[in-house]
Amino acid sequence: MPRQKIAVSDAPNIALIGMMGVGKTTIGRRLARRLSREFFDSDHEIEKASGRTVAGYFRDHGEAQFREGEKRVINRLVDPDIKKASIILATGGGAFTHEETREILNTHCLTVWLKGDLDTLFERVSRNNKRPLLQVENPRAKLQELIEARHPIYAQAHIHVPIAKGPHIRTVNRVIKAIQKYQETNKKPSP
């Protein structure tokens, strides 16, 4: 007997994690439209809450304080006692590296790691200079260092999806298929 497909719409909050430049915001917006859910970008929500840019917050207060503020904003967005409807959330590249934030995300969301290679990511992040962690003499080497440090942490996400070359819709389709497969594999038997 063929297995019945589980509707992705039944999934809880879905949080996209991964390196800067992997396409979390673009893919998140498109995924939200496909699933008829509200979309949030944690960096944008931090900027709204603090009245400052992410780069300005980093510069004036440092990464540690930024991560604490980020944790509070993400908790507000995904805590079922605060936010009742399931959402799609694109997180900042470092959000999942913060242990408490990672616990919040893995508890209240289905976490999806969008995984990209160094060449693709560097080409994408080189298009703008708004990345505070890449404001260094050799941004490519810094990005490689971040990949090496973060990938083992990102691997703690529920689902891993390599980004597709070409249009973002290809990655959106990969995410939906990966969520369906995850749900089928982790489906609880009926009593």
Q: What's the first-to-final CA gap in the chain, in angstroms?
A: 20
67 assigned binding-site residue: yes
Q: Is 26 annotated as a binding residue?
A: yes
37 annotated ligand binder: no
Give the C-alpha distances (Å, rounded to integers) separating 34 from 49, 111, 175, 177, 182: 28, 18, 11, 13, 18
Q: Is 150 annotated as a binding residue?
A: yes
Q: How many C-beta neighbours within 10 Å does residue 149 have?
A: 11
String of b and e for 70-109 (b: at least 16 CB within 10 Å)?
bbebbbebbeeeebeebbbbbbbbbbbbbeebbebbbebb
21 is in an annotated binding site: yes
- The answer to the question of whether 23 is labelled as a binding residue is yes
How far is the C-alpha of 185 from the C-alpha of 63, rounded, in Å? 37
117 a known binding residue?
no
* 24 is annotated as contributing to ligand binding: yes
Binding site residues for Mg(2+), as ranges?
A: 25
Binding site residues, as ranges?
A: 21-26, 43, 67, 93, 131, 150
Binding site residues for ATP, as ranges?
A: 21-26, 131
Binding site residues for substrate, as ranges?
A: 43, 67, 93, 150
